Structure formats: structure tokens, C-alpha cells
Amino acid sequence: PRSSNRRGRYIEVLIIEQEERGANTIEQTGVDDRRPTTNETKMKTMMMLTTWMMLCLLLNGACAQAPPTPQDAPAAPATEDAPAAPAADAGDQGASGAVDSAETAEKPETIGEDCLPNENNEFVFKVNLWEYQYEVEGCEGVAPTLKIKRGVEYTFVQEDVSNWYHPLGLAYYPDGAHDGVPELEEPTPAECDEEDYMCNPGEGVQQAPLYCINNNCETYEDWNNGVTSGLDVYEPVFQRPEDQWVEEGGEGSYAVKITIPEDSKTAEFYYFCHIHSGMSGKMIVEDPAPDANQLVTPLAADYYGPPPEEFDVACGTFDNVTMFHTEKDKYCPDMTFVCDPTGTPFSQCMEAIDCKMNAEMRVKEKEDNKLALFMEQMIPHHWNAILMSRIALKHS
């Protein structure tokens, strides 16, 4: 789930989906309303993003003030024409409050850190599009563990544009409907009484997400009617083109409300994305009932992907490039990327990431989608620049 290959597939899927929706619009209305999805606009967008990325690699600390780029883009290594940018103090923060790139470049994002709501009992969600996990404003890392109490209504705010195509859901086990496990619904699913799940919150207990669009929220009395409110209205809106999603959300945007009643036996459950699997995070009730349920199956240790190998830790890459070092003859036979290599750890790391880029850029041409080929080669190419910078920060 943390591989660069997944990033390429994900972006490609979004482009194909947008093109299909645009074609349907023309067929139904006779009007070409595909402004955000024309090839020209997409090419300009990709070039803008890649330009910002390269600028961030060259200018240490620029990422903290450049919205189109990830916060953890590292500084560039030295070249003959330009020396490496000096590392800033690890505690420095940019104008946006983002941690300086030098602090985050040598370690991966933390996962599952404890997270408390803000003063309004809100969790303000964003999506980290590099990790493909949710993050919450004011909380460290991705997929934070949300701490809540019984009898309190909490609001999950999905106003940030990164939430587009990522409608939140709540389930008793990771990934909800993606894995066919019970979700928080009204009434409680019968499966919660089965031995495989044992998640019934108690007879008559109502605990289910209430979905809101532009401050209009559903109620338990008319839960998920599928016409004017509920998940069956909320989720489809998230699959519309981005500009329509923003317009439909209005000033109140999108939110999900949840209350775990005082008499509930639920001690923990999960938030997840209704469209993409692998984006779950844990929720813990800090004051559970004395007879609270114990979930049958805990979150798998490798749910967020395997931990980095020892070689990756030594390189500072944290992107599982080890196999391109240990199995280089398989992926890059008879190839050398660093002339007259010294065999030092630095040299070995550079050879490994260059082999990774070379192997991942060897893709089949897609005659019906030329932008897919552009992205499938551009992404590993530019991701390699980030890995190079991480190695430089680690070893120089």
C-alpha cells in the first residue's frame, strides 16, 4: 500500500473515471462540460505538479510554503552547478505550520498516533495523497487513532478538497463493506451477533453515522433514506467531478456525525473510506462500559504495509527498495548506474534506487490512453529524485 506503483495506478484510475464521466455528460446533454478533464488541462496540471516537486527538491524548506507539493519533499543533493541546500533546524516551521522538510525526510510518516478532537469535538479530515491514508488536523502522522467518549457527539469534517473521492464510513472492523464486515448502521446488523464479529452494542442502542451535506444532516428517524440523505446520497456525490463535488457541498461542505451512547458496549471500531480499501484507522472509546465488547480480530500488523527492511533504514529511503539491491541481477541484469562504484553504503543505495526507477519505468504502451504511459513513467522518475534526496540527507 505504500509503494510508488500504487500511486501511479491510483492517479490513472482517477483520470480514466473522469474521462468516462465526461463522455457520459456529452451523451446525455450534448454539451462538452469536461473542462477539468481535457488533455491540455491535465498535462498542464501534471507539469505544474512536477515543476513544484523539482523546485522543492532544489530549495530546502520551500515545501512548507508551496501548497501543490507534499510536505515531506526533501532537499536536493549537491551537484556540480549547485551545492546542496543547507539543512534547517529540525524544529523550524514554515508559514503554513508544516514541519520543515529536513525533519521529515529521514523517517516515514508515523501511523496510528493517538488523536483527540478539537474544542468543537471535531476531527477535521484530510487525505495524505502520498501515503493514501487519512490524516486529521492537529494530529501527527497518518491514520491516527481517534480517542472519543460515550455520550458525546463528534463531527468528522470533510471540507478539504483532498477528501474528494474519499467518503468516510464507520465499521466494527477495518475496511467495512470492502471486506464484508459489519458497519455501524441503524438498526445494528444481525452479523454483529455472530461469533466471527461479536460487535452488538446492546439491545436498542442506536449508533450509526449521520451524514451531512451543506449542514443538512440525516436523522435516525429517517436514516439513510437514499433519496434526500444518508450514505446512499453522500457517497455518490463524492464520485462526481471535483468541481461539482465542491459546488454540491456548499458553504457547509461535508461531514459525518457519530455518538456512542452511554449504554453502548462498543469499545473500539474503525473509520474507513467507502471507495478505497486500505484506508482504515482505529477509534477507541476512552471510557468503555464495564461489559464492553472485545473485537474478535485485531488490526493486522501489516495492514499499512510491511515495515522497511534494514537496507532501507540504512539508506534512509523507507520505500522498500531492498529487493532492487539483493535481486539486482533479476530486475536490472548487466546494468550499472553509478560509474566506478566504490561499494560504500551510499553507492549501494544509489544503485538500488536507480535500478528501481529503471525497472518501474519499463511499462507497456497504452494506445488508447497516452497519458497513462506518461504518468506511469513520470511517477517513478520523479519519485527517484525524492529517494535520491533522502539518501543524500542520510549520508552527506
Per-residue pLDDT tens over the stretch 138-160 = 999 999 999 999 999 999 999 99
pLDDT tens per residue, range 210-232: 999 999 999 999 999 999 899 99
Residue 100 CB contacts under 8 Å (≥ 6 apart), including other chains: 61, 64, 88, 89, 90, 92, 93, 94
Return the pLDDT at 250.
96
For residue range 20-60, list pLDDT tens digits in order.
444 444 444 444 443 344 445 555 555 566 555 555 554 44
Q: Please say whether the beta carbons of 217 and 171 come within 8 A.
A: no
Please report the pLDDT score of residue 68 as a whole number.
37
pLDDT at residue 378, rounded to an integer: 94
- Sign for the CA dihedral angle at 237, 241, 246, 248 comes to negative
> What is the per-residue pLDDT for 347?
95
In this prediction, residue 44 carries a pLDDT of: 56
Q: What is the pLDDT of residue 90?
A: 34
d(CA 22, CA 36): 9
Would you state the pLDDT for residue 367?
Answer: 85
Q: What is the predicted pLDDT for the residue at 340?
A: 87
pTM of the complete model beyond 0.75: no
Separation CA 165–CA 95 (nearest Å): 28
Amino acid letter for position 203:
E
* DSSP secondary structure code for residue 126 in this structure: E
Task: Return the pLDDT at 341.
Answer: 84
Q: Which residues contact 73 (CB under 8 A, 6 or more apart)?
A: 53, 56, 57, 63, 101, 386, 389
Write out residues in the chain with pLDDT < 70, as ranges.
Answer: 1-108
